[in-house]
Structure 1
Amino acid sequence: MPLQFLASVYFDGLPPWFPDPMRLLRAMTTLTAVVLTKWYASGRVNLSERNMHGRVVLMTGGTSGIGAATALELARRGAQLVLLTRQPPSDPFLVEYVDDLRARSGNRMIYAEQVDLADLYSVRQFATRWIDNAPPRRLDMVVLCASTLVPPGGERVETAEGVELTWMVNFLANFHLLGILSPAIRAQPFDREVRIIVPTCSSYIASPKLDEEAVVTGGRDDLEDWVPGRAYARSKLAMMVFAKAYQKHLDAYKRPDELPMNARVVLVDPGLARTVSMRRWLTRGSLWGLLLYLVFYFFAWLFLKSPHMAAQSVLYAAMDGSLGRGAGGRLIKECMEVDCARKDVDDEEVAKKLWESSDRLIERVEKEQAVKRARAKKEQEKKEQEAKEAAQVQEIEALVGAIKKGKSKEASKKNTKKAEFTGNTQPELFNPSHCHPVFFTAKLRRPPFNVLSGAQLSPVAYGYVYQDAPGGSKKSAGPRL
């Protein structure tokens, strides 16, 4: 059949149903260009592998985007994941997500801890609990994938502590977390290779220079000139400068066993991906922007990486053996080491100002928040004391009321019994004060059949009361009628 078709084409030309060769060539060229563009835009694939069984990994941003893809791949390789999330572990979404991650990876060693990166007190609570252990808890890797941004045209947002949100989540919270965890990282045994992986973004290249005023005020520009893109780029540049300085901080530590430091900081640029943050940025956080995004989704699919492909560079930083040797603070992009595009990333003077200013900012904010918490706790205790006293007063009033009610019931019962005892339905016709104090018998405890009203009425006359016998009588010393 193929030979006959080829012979027919050779002798008789193309059949009428066959498409135009030029049109077919253009279609094939277009398809090839799309495939090559997609292949190039997707980036390189991680080929390095590492035994992750039993290794403890702290991870932020592990529930969405690049962080979720990284968490899945690390879990499939047997790592024990501790996901630091804004929601409490009892949150229904988080419970379902962790269960799904366990089922997909076949790894049950996946847990969640509540750490709100927009709250320095929450970060300190978790980090303090982690290091408050003897001997030190095992820690093999810290992956800081959490990040946030404000869409273009959005307004400046501050946290409850008064720090700009982008600066807080992207830099200051990570600075605070690693600063407190530093003793736990340095205390790991020499044969345990510890890696701190810090994903970044190429937007740091366009960031303005870091100055002390911007750091002290929480990364703010002049309020009138504040731009979301500039704030995001500044936070990424600050994180890169700090990561380089943190590596020097670890290297300067002298271990008690006098062995070299085994912790390495690795910077990673995963590239542009179709994540929630990217979609929020492209759509400007509006419904019209989302509609345009859906209309032109083909171009987003073509030029942007999937979260899985963007996670390949992060996985390379976590697994490649060469990164565990030599100097730390290297930058990885497309699964290979590259140079930083800015010289001030390695500037020690800039790093020193950034570190000191961030320390002062955290100290000031924590003091203010501690005073507020103490004041709120005092007010809460006062309210609880007032509520307790009010409850006691109500209890006493209820007890007094019950006693009064009991007494009234007892008096009512006594009156009822007295009425039954006298058998008198008209008390005004019979006054006990008129009676002589003598003994009654059952025979005489009967009601009168016909008692007339009036002052002349005498109970004795009607046979109701005994009278004593005269003193000189010898017949009887007892009562008689």
Structure 2
Amino acid sequence: MPLAFVTSLYFDGLPPWFPDPYRLLKVTATLTTLAATKWYTSGRRNPSERNMHGRVVLITGGTSGIGAATALALAQRGAQVVLLTRQPASDPFLVEYVDDLRRRTGNQLVYAEQVDLADLYSVRQFATRWIDNAPPRRLDMVVLCASAMVPPGGERVATPEGVEGMWMVNFLANFHLLGILSPAIRAQPFDRDVRIVVPTCSSYIASPKLDVEAMGRKGWLDEEWTPARAYARSKLALMIFAKAYQKHLDAYKRPDQLPMNARVVLVDPGLARTPGTRRWLTRGSLWGLLLYLVFYLLVWVLLKSPTMAAQSLLYAMMESSLGRGAGGRLVKECMEVDCARKDVDDEDEAKKLWEASDKLIERVEKEQALKRARAKKEQEKRDEEAKNAAQVEEIESLIGSIKKGKAKEAKEAPKKGGKKAKTAGNNVK
């Protein structure tokens, strides 16, 4: 049969049902190009593995996007995953999410702790509870996946504490969290491979130079503010801080005189189809969402899935070579790369940023502490007034009851007197 078909092709040419070769070539070339583009834009898969059973991992942003994919991968490998979320652990969505994660992975060591990264007081409460333990709690990894992004054309958003939103969530809250957790990180035994994984974004390359004096106005509330500038600046600051934090850890002298075993790893996961990216591309509008859906095939081809974007994070957590030597390295596409800006390693810039951030946090926390103290006094005053009002009401109710009792007795007294007189008259008869 094949020989007859080949012979027919040779003598009679292509059969009539066979598609036009030129069109077939175009379709094949188009599909091959799309497949190759998708393969390239999907990025590399994590080639490294590591035993994660029993390891304790704190992760922010673990309920959506790249953070959710990372949390799932860690739970599948048996790690004890602590999700730091804005909602309380009793939130119905969070309860269902944690139960689903446990069911899908067969790992019951998945928990949630409330930490609102837009609130410095919430960050301090959690971190203080974590380190207030003897002996120190086990802590193998901190993964900072949470991020805030205002879409293009959006207005500047400030937190309730008055700090610019993206600066707070993307940088200042992480600075505050790691600063307080520092004793717990440094106290881990020497044989424990401790890593702080800090996802970043290539937008830091376009960030304006940091001016720490401007940060004194509570997080870059400058006249030239734009969503893109603010986001890029927060990522640049996070990278500078991550490098400085590694030096802060290395400067610690362990009681056992052994080298520091904690390392910071910066990760650029690339562009992915996450809720944040979708909101950025659609500019937070319904018309933008409609265009997003119309061109979704293009988005699907050019952007990674959250699972593929998480591969570089998993590589940073599991690659054995990153647990040795110097920390503060940058990983992209599951390989170590150089930073695109020299000021990321500028020690003077890092010192100024660290000091300015400390001062900003101190000032904001003092202001918020005074507000909480005033609110507490006002609440105590209201409670006291309510208590006094309740006591007055109780006394008035008691007095009213006594008066009613006496009035009833006075009303019944003539009737009793009449009955006694009538009874006396009957006796005389």
Contact 1:271 1:310 in 2 (8 A): yes
Determine which structure has more spread, i.e. the larger CA radius of gyration. 1
Match of 1:334 in 2: 333
Conserved 8 A contact 1:168-1:218:
no
Say whether the 8 Å CA contact 1:87–1:94 is kept in structure 2: yes
- Matches of 2:328 and 2:25 in 1, distance apart? 49
Once the two structures are TM-superposed, the CA of residue 61 in structure 1 deviates from its matched residue by: 0.3
Name the CA distance, whole Å, in 2 between partners of 1:334 and 1:345: 20
Q: CA deviation at 1:420?
A: 2.8
Instruction: Report if aligned partners of 2:154, 2:227 keep a CA contact under 8 Å in 1.
Output: yes
Letter in 1 for 2:143: V
C-alpha displacement at 1:417, in angstroms?
2.3
Distance 2:112 2:3 in 1: 65
* Structure 2 counterpart of 1:286: 285
Alignment of 1:77-476 (within 5 A): 77-220=77-220, 222-223=222-223, 225-423=224-422, 440=424, 442-444=426-428
Deviations 1:43-88 (A, max 9, x none): 0000111110000000000000000000000000000011000001
Residues in 2 aligned to 1:361 and 1:185: alpha-carbon distance in whole angstroms: 24
Shift of 1:7: 2.9
Q: Sequence identity, in percent?
A: 78
**CA deviation vs aligned residue, 1:302-353 (integer Å, no higher than 9, x gap):** 1000000000000000111111000000000000000000000000000000
Q: CA deviation at 1:103?
A: 0.8
**1:67 matched residue in structure 2:** 67
Distance, in Å, in 2 between the alignment partners of 1:6 and 1:100 is 57
In structure 2, what is the equivalent of residue 45 of structure 1?
Answer: 45
- Paired residue secondary structure (1:375): helix
Provide the aligned length of Structure 1 versus Structure 2: 429
Amino acid in structure 1 at the alignment position of 2:182: S
For residues 268-320 of structure 1, the C-alpha deviation after alignment (integer angstroms, 9 at most, x for no partner) is 00000000110010000111100010111111101000000000000000111
The letter for the 2-side match of 1:303 is L
SS of match in other structure, 1:212: coil
CA distance in 1, matches of 2:355, 2:123: 19
Looking at structure 2, the residues matched to 116 and 147 of structure 1 have their Cα atoms a distance apart, in angstroms, of 12
Q: Cα offset for 1:118?
A: 0.4
Alpha-carbon displacement from aligned partner over 1:381-425 (angstroms, at most 9, x marks no partner): 00000000000000000011111111222233333322333349x
CA–CA distance in 1 between the matches of 2:208 and 2:108? 45
Q: Is the Cα–Cα contact under 8 Å of residues 214 and 222 in structure 2 kept in the other structure?
A: no
Structure 2, unaligned stretches of length 5 or more?
none
Name the CA distance, whole Å, in 2 between partners of 1:2 and 1:71. 54
Further displaced range: 68-77 or 211-220:
211-220
Q: Indicate conservation of the 8 Å contact 2:199/2:268, yes or no.
A: yes
More relative contact order, 1 or 2 (CA 8 Å, 6+ apart): 2
Question: Deviation string for 1:128-168 (max 9, x for gaps)?
Answer: 00000010000000000000111101111111111000000
CA distance, structure 1, for counterparts of residue 89 and residue 196 of structure 2: 24
- Residue 237 of structure 2 aligns with an amino acid whose one-letter code is A
**Is the 8 Å Cα contact of residues 198 and 268 (structure 1) preserved in structure 2?**
yes
The DSSP-based 3-state class of the residue aligned with 2:213 is: helix
2:12 aligned partner, one-letter code: D
Deviation at 1:222, TM superposition (A): 2.4
Report the 3-state secondary structure (helix = DSSP H, G, I; strand = E; otherwise coil) of the residue aligned with 1:332. Answer: strand
How far off its partner does 1:17 sit? 1.2
Cα shift readout 1:76-108 (whole Å, capped 9, x = no counterpart): 000001100000111111111111111111100
Whether the 8 Å contact between 2:62 and 2:146 is mirrored in structure 1 is: yes
Q: Structure 1 segments of 4 or more deviating over 4 A?
A: none
Structure 1, unpaired ranges of 5+ = 425-439, 445-462, 464-481
Q: Which amino acid aligns with 1:92?
A: P
Q: Answer yes or no: is the 8 Å Cα contact 1:197–1:318 preserved in 2.
A: yes
SS at match of 1:59: strand
Task: Provide the TM-score with structure 1 as the length reference.
Answer: 0.88
Q: Secondary structure at the match of 1:112?
A: strand
